[in-house]
Amino acid sequence: MEGIKDTDENPNNVILLYTGRSQSKNTNGGAIDNWNREHVWAKSHGDFGTRMGPGTDLHHLKATDVSVNSSTGNKDFDIGGSFHKEATQCRFDSDS
């Protein structure tokens, strides 16, 4: 989490992937409207774990709203679907 606080800082906030919202970098956790880390490449497509290397590479990790991150699951990026209620510029469907 510490690296994300630096790479996505604005200056005391982080910019959340998908929503674009600027939020206090100290509100990371599991509660509603907290942020957590998103593995941009779904771990289920190749679980890199949390050891040094790809599992902790900041190129693979971004700050996201907890509930938005939860709804992405292990879906792939794609075009189409319905707009997400919190990430209003993002679309999703059953597999993307």
Distances (CA, A) of 56 to 2, 32, 40, 93: 11, 24, 12, 28
Q: Fill in the DSSP letter of residue 40.
A: S
The mean pLDDT of 21-38, rounded to a whole number, is 90
Share of the chain above pLDDT 90, in %: 9
Domain definitions of the chain by residue range: 2-92
pLDDT in tens, 30-67: 898 899 888 777 666 766 666 666 666 677 788 888 88
Residue 35: its pLDDT value, please?
92
